[in-house]
Amino acid sequence: MRNIIGGEFRDSHPGKQCMKRFRVAVDIGGTFVDSILFDSETGTTRLAKASTTPDEPVRGVLAALDRLGVSLNDTELFVHGTTLGLNAVIERRGVETGIITNAGFRDVFEIGRADVPAASMYDYRYQREASIVKRRHRFGVGGRIDAHGNEVEPLDEAAVLDAAGKLVEAGIRSVAICFLHSYRNPVHEARAAEVIRAAYPQLAVSASSAITREYREYERTATAVVDAYINPIFNDYVGRLENGLVENGFAGKLLIMRSAGGAMTAQTARQAPIYTVLSGPAGGLIGAGQLAKAIGRDRVLTLDYGGTSLDAAVIEDGEPLVMHEAPLADLPALIPIFDIRCIGAGGGSIAWVQEGLLQVGPQSAGSQPGPIAYGRGGAEPTTTDAALILGFLDPSTFLGGTVDLDVPAARQGMETRVAGPLGIDIDRAAAGIFDVLVARTAGAIREITVERGRDPRDFSMLAFGGAGPLIAPLIAREVMNAELIVPQNPAVFSAWGMLMSDIVTDVALTQLRLLEPEAQGPVEEAFATLIEDARAQLEGQSGTQTERRFLRLVECRYAGQEHALEIELPEGEDLASLRARFDDLHRERYGHAIAAPVQIVTLRVRASAVMPKPTLPIVPEATGPASEAQVGAREAFCFARRERTPFAVYDRKLLGAGHTFDGPAIVEEGTTTTVIHSDQTVAVDPHGHLIVRRKSA
């Protein structure tokens, strides 16, 4: 399965020749492993997909590489994205974990904020899940640092060793260390980690100050706990992956995607795996940002529909929005992470009936057994089965002909599980599945647009993932986006985005002080320290030859507020300029500004080592009408008409820049299908992207 989607190779260091010609990126999803290869000599790429192997993820990765036909001996860089850690947290299948904290504070993690999640605010039956750390595995030890970073009481190292010993005796594999005010002075945490590792090298240790230097003891504790909870699982996986790659001749650099974009070396990722929890979806947003800049779109909504989930996000001025506190299955994590709305809806989402109502997801058939139509033993109808029944998919060419779809089985399953219980016909049941997905997705989009003062109609929508082009035209009709963009080879777009990544590191330091002239000196001094720290981390991962970029950010709030807004402070700019820009941002975000003093909360530095990247290709101009790319027609369900109607079928590789055509139409390519309804029209841009808009009245 091969396609050309890359362009020329752009090296940020002219004259430096790459010894090896290939760069490879692999993204593991819930259903498929997507892989892409960039050839720096020819400027082209190849892509391949393989089924995800949940029991042994490395096997699926190696299978995808085998289908690529890549020589790992000639591969200089392997970039990888996975949600292995996130899935472990969501499914509560991490390792047994312990906590060591200050005496008297062993219950901070369980008490938390004593709140109810917003999604369950009005659910009187709500019960908080049991803590992932049992109380008998939480220990308080002597020692105290005060709020100014001064030692009030020496660390009781004997108590630390005693607690660690009891945890090991209880079969604990990982421990989180979080002491009060370690964001000010991490000396006690660092020493506790040192003595535990020396005495019990088999025990994974996660110290909160090694992950984040921000205040709020519950959030820091939760961050350290999540990191500890997934640490052995992630390290085992990366170790197996490294061994598998080496056995196949790989001697280059292995990078892992970060949840807030950019990449880091596998060694760095193994030290703090919590930074990788959304590394798979992050690749898609990096690619989307690069694409948005290349084609001149300032506002883009991304829809990444895979086999298991949908990820929706906002990109403004070519940059995805970043949060610095991520909710991971109701646990907060103080890490930089892309602001992504994720719902359990994808190609493998299972449809079912509960109390006479149609439900879709979040359960997924995954890759095994998969949808009914795969013929692998699946008995529950899925979105893919519905698409097949509605005529959107060709059963003989699905995934480039590598999977034969069983239409009668899909129809029988839909009748038994959905249509029959609802008392409706099969087509209406299949269409209803898409109606539910559209409603849920529109809700997620409104969360990140309307609820933040943005109008989704002002945004272009970018659809990718295996199921993205199939479903996104319906979403665009619902939220009335300005246009929908279907990029080249959308099924592996997230993997392509990984090839567009730089090596990135984020450092932060809480520094509570009023925004006033006297703060200029301490702020500049703190930024200098943060930049040196970030520079050292970059040099350990990328060498000293690449271009360096440093972004300085200040989180501010009105005195008395709880939450803060982030503003860039370019080097050489006076702090006085921050006040006006903070007021403007607060007014834009919340509709008002006030005369209260402004307080600095946290200083951040995002540092990047710029890597060479492939550029977007320019496809050949169309030499004839779009009808020359039409390879057939078939009857399918048109949602604009709410009935079956003939659809023209186009082969995407035959479409050239400048081609235009109207729906109803189906555009097929090896790994995905784009469905255009009768009230929509399509134009092919110079890069080969499909630009879908609503027909003029």
pLDDT tens sequence across 682-695: 999 999 999 999 98
Tokens 């499909």 belong to residue: 690
Among residues 603, 607, 604, which one has the least CA distance to residue 536? 607
Cβ contact 81:238 at 8 Å: no
- Cα–Cα distance, 224 to 219 (Å, whole number): 9
154 pLDDT more than 60 = yes
Q: pLDDT (tens digit, 9 = 90+) per residue, 635-681?
A: 999 999 999 999 999 999 999 999 999 999 999 998 889 999 999 99
- Residues 6 or more apart whose CB falls under 8 angstroms from that of 634 comprise 391, 394, 646, 647, 649, 666
Cβ contact 29:367 at 8 Å: no
Highest mean pLDDT among 72-76, 123-127, 322-326: 72-76
Show the 3-state SS of 77-121: EEEEECCHHHHHHHCCCCCCEEEEEECCCCCHHHHCCCCCCHHHC
DSSP 378-390: --S-BHHHHHHHT
Q: How confident is the model at residue 500 (pLDDT cuts 50, 70, 90)?
A: confident
pLDDT at 125: 87
- Residues 6 or more apart whose CB falls under 8 angstroms from that of 408 comprise none
Tokens 């069983």 belong to residue: 406
Give the torsion through C-alpha atoms of 278, 284, 286, 287, to 10 deg.
Answer: 170
Q: How confident is the model at residue 697 (pLDDT cuts 50, 70, 90)?
A: low
- Cα–Cα distance, 306 to 466 (Å, whole number): 5
Q: How confident is the model at residue 13 (pLDDT cuts 50, 70, 90)?
A: very low
Q: How confident is the model at residue 569 (pLDDT cuts 50, 70, 90)?
A: very high
31 pLDDT more than 80 = no
Tokens 């702020």 belong to residue: 523
> How much is the CA Rg of the chain, to the nearest whole Å?
26
What is the Cα 66 distance to its own chain's centre? 25
Tokens 């205040």 belong to residue: 215
DSSP strand pairing (660-662 vs 680-684): antiparallel
| Structure tokens that stand for 109 in this block | 């993690």
543 pLDDT more than 50 = yes
pLDDT at 1: 31
630 or 617, higher pLDDT: 630
Residue 56 sits at the vertex; the CA angle it makes with 51 and 58, to the nearest 5 degrees, is 75
| Structure tokens that stand for 666 in this block | 């189906």
Give the helix/strand (H/E) hosting 359: strand 357-364
Give the torsion through C-alpha atoms of 274, 277, 280, 285, to 10 deg.
Answer: -90
pLDDT at 400: 67
- Cα–Cα distance, 430 to 524 (Å, whole number): 60
Mean pLDDT within 69-87 = 87
271 or 90, higher pLDDT: 271
- Cα–Cα distance, 91 to 95 (Å, whole number): 12
- Residues 6 or more apart whose CB falls under 8 angstroms from that of 232 comprise 95, 173, 174, 204
Among residues 239, 99, 76, which one has the least CA distance to residue 177? 99
546 or 606, higher pLDDT: 606
- Cα–Cα distance, 586 to 564 (Å, whole number): 10
Instruction: Kindly report the pTM of this predicted structure.
Output: 0.84
Answer whether the bond into residue 664 is a cis peptide, omega within 30°.
yes
Cβ contact 28:82 at 8 Å: yes
Give the CA distances from residue 59 to residues 22, 36, 237, in Å, rounded to whole numbers and listed in that order. Answer: 21, 17, 11
pLDDT at 5: 35
- Cα–Cα distance, 376 to 103 (Å, whole number): 54
| Beta bridge mates, 132 | none
- Cα–Cα distance, 140 to 302 (Å, whole number): 45
- Residues 6 or more apart whose CB falls under 8 angstroms from that of 614 comprise 6, 7, 8, 9, 10, 38, 43, 45, 499, 500
* Range in 265-274, 609-618, 663-672 with the lowest mean pLDDT: 609-618
Mean pLDDT within 164-176 = 97
Cβ contact 611:499 at 8 Å: no
Mean pLDDT within 577-601 = 91
- Cα–Cα distance, 84 to 280 (Å, whole number): 9
Fill in the amino acid letter for 672: T
CB atoms inside a 10 Å sphere around CB 590: 12
What is the Cα 259 distance to its own chain's centre? 6
